[in-house]
Structure 1
Amino acid sequence: MSRIDETAEFIPVRIAVLTVSDTRDLSQDRSGEVLVQRIAEAGHELAERHILPDERDQIADQLRLWCADDAIDVVISAGGTGLTGRDVTVEAHRDVYEKEIDAFGTVFTIVSMRKIGTSAVQSRATGGVCNGTYLFALPGSPGACKDAWDEILLKQLDYRHKPCNFVEILPRLDEHHRRK
């Protein structure tokens, strides 16, 4: 069963938050604020925060910029994961991924089912890796951001979480770029 190893040292990671919305600015960004607060409460560092419209190329370009930045370990986006024509965040993420973390969406669906029942089927939350950086696309509701953070990311972004976590393999995510 999973647990926190209290003998291990906590290792903070640097997280960028991207809200995808055609209508919000920072003063109205409740989902981004949920993530920013939880990042700080967990002891991690907020590296950057932006809001972009639902434009696939702009989202992908921002993700690539952050993945190229050695000062960013994780990118979390909120919004644009639904089924409507303007929901293009998942496609933008997949344009950038080197590897997809298939089970992230599955686990998010399981967590969501407990909260919102079969409505969870409408979410396309996803996770992946690019250039040694983790990327996660969450739905834009504050509740979904809380659920993803509290039930998945809080644990997986804690080096002390056992039997395994994202932080312990972070230094090896881009090892294929270093091979000779």
Structure 2
Amino acid sequence: MSRIGAAIFVALSVAYPLVVYWAMGRFEPRWLAVLLLVLAVLRAIATRQAIWLVAAAGAALLAALATAFNEALPLKLYPALINAVMLVVFATSLVFPPSAVERIARMTEPDLPPAGVAYTRRVTQVWCGFFVFNGALALITALWMSDRAWALYNGLIAYALIGLLFGAEWLVRQRVRAGYRHG
């Protein structure tokens, strides 16, 4: 995938809830199902990881339901599916180490000390909790809230929460590192 193609893919993935919300009154859900399927298949191809093939299969099922019944609900369930996939990835890494966050940390810090390994394990646990919380809200907004509330949460608020968690973790990490340097 070229850099431009990757950028378009990321932009569409991030904007998915807003694109679906905007398009709901303009296109039938069966046509929007194509977007869902394309995004899921491109992610599976780009990552070449089994979990994203499973996610693509789940997205294909959602797209098939949206097409067959011409309903938007299956399209709105996609953010909940992605949170479930991320939960599986992170939780599985806790059972079969190294943890997901440790793998990411080792990209820039290959000689991670034991305290760093413990810290990254805790951060992976925090992300698991986040995926449960965020996935539950994505599901609640899809099933019981208006299309506008669904788009607002999944297209804006969820990303703000992700940013807050990243920011808070970065601040905590700086304090943890400083404590180990001085301790």
TM-score, shorter chain, exceeding 0.5: no
Task: Please report the TM-score for the alignment, with normalisation by the length of structure 1.
Answer: 0.26
**Structure with greater proportional strand content:** 1
For the pair shown, the structure with the greater C-alpha radius of gyration is 2
Higher helix share: 2
Q: Comparing both chains, which one has the higher relative contact order based on Cα–Cα distances under 8 Å and sequence gaps of 6 or more?
A: 1
TM-score (norm 2): 0.26
